Structure 1
Amino acid sequence: MDLPRTPSFRLDGRRALVTGAGRGIGLGAAAALAAAGAHVVLAARSAAEIEEAAAAIRAEGGSAEALPLDVADIADAGAKITAAGPFHALVNNAGTNRPAAFPDVTPEDFDAVMALNVRAAFFVAQAVARGMMATGISGAIVHVSSQMGHVGGARRSVYCASKWAIEGITRAMAIDLAPHGIRVNTLCPTFIETPMTQPFLADAGFKANVLEKIKLGRLGQVEDLMGAILFLCSDAATLMTGSSLLVDGGWTAE
């Protein structure tokens, strides 16, 4: 009897771009993809940080390089991504948050969050997708969204708007890019302990409220997402597109 074989999670011979790669989820994504054999290009504004991260990956036998850029500078980032590509995978991770109660949100808050979380993410993905199409690569694009792209949250009206937008963009992209063999999905974490969330989680009351909603009773760690990212970028997910992978500890279960 010929048994079915599990598709490979290896990424040998492939190139991956990770934005916001110097710390937190982006650093975890870069480490996971490199450990699976991909050559990883780490992109962020913080040149020293991504150089250090790329060096750490190489020190462990991986293949990595730094690509300093500002994803919010659409023209410059697009040119640099095109020159560094093509890529077989993108983890579109760069993002921000400016929590505020809805009546207190300023136009500056709104514009800053939407510019990075939506506008920049859209055009980074476009640059990568164009490179894939031009070279016939059947690749994978992973937008790092959030559980807040599926529910609402206090003091997070703009952040929720940005992540719901990413969920919609992902589904439309998946339809447009499917004929080219390019898959597009979102990864939707709960609260992960990272440098970005640390200031919020330092508030004992806020942290207690978060833990009450996470059914598994603990905050997420970057390591909790690394397997999911690898899955979405690998051949194990070749029939998955236009979907969301929630790694939320059960937050959205009710």
Structure 2
Amino acid sequence: MLLLITYDEHGGFYDHVPTPVKNVRSPDGLVGPSPYYFAFDRLGVRVPTIAISLKLRSLWVCDAVVHGPFGPTPDSEFEHSSAAATVKKISGLGDFLTRRDSWAGTFEMSSVRGPNREMIVPVTELPTPPWSLRHVPVDENRPLTEFQQELVLLASQLNGDHVLRDYPSLGKKMTVKQGNDYVNDAVARFIREGEKQLRAGVNEITILQLKSVRQVSEESPLTSRRERFSRSSLRQSS
């Protein structure tokens, strides 16, 4: 078994190695919009990757990165698609996913020889970090970050609030606590309603679509009576 962890970003650290731009295959041939018309024919900055397995010798990935990939083309590089390309190679799968992973270098598993005995040690007690990763007290009254606002919008797809007019700005005025409560409530309601539907005999593959609580509360009885009166008048006049 191999656990492969790779990062999407490099963290903003300076990289002295130039970004590979030579003969990099575009995944699908698409070109971005103006004014840049980005063709996805170059790679980005380097990112950390961690390979974890009892059968890996020390510095296995480090050695691979130093000497570079052995193909499949002279210009192949290790990149995110190398994970998919490696799985395809060792599993004997059919077609590649895109033109990019057909070009990406693979991690040669043939260099892996048996279990690494140095890594097989009994664990009696987990180590305690010498310091806390949190350097400031929790402030739940702070505004949501852009990513946290996106989580609120994602949760609104569950509770039906995505149909409201103010959907794009749902999380912009929320605090961290309000955003956390909103997401928890949305997920809890979605699960609760789903379980209710299953108990009622609804097919389990049915897509559950909840109605916004705010939308329901805004439909006052007075408004409903006016709508019924209006519809009744139209029928009588016709």
**TM-score under structure 1 normalisation?**
0.19
Structure with the larger helix share: 1
- Superposition TM-score, scaled by structure 2 size: 0.20
Q: Which has the higher contact order (CA 8 A, sep 6+)?
A: 1
Question: In proportion to residue count, which structure has more strand?
Answer: 1
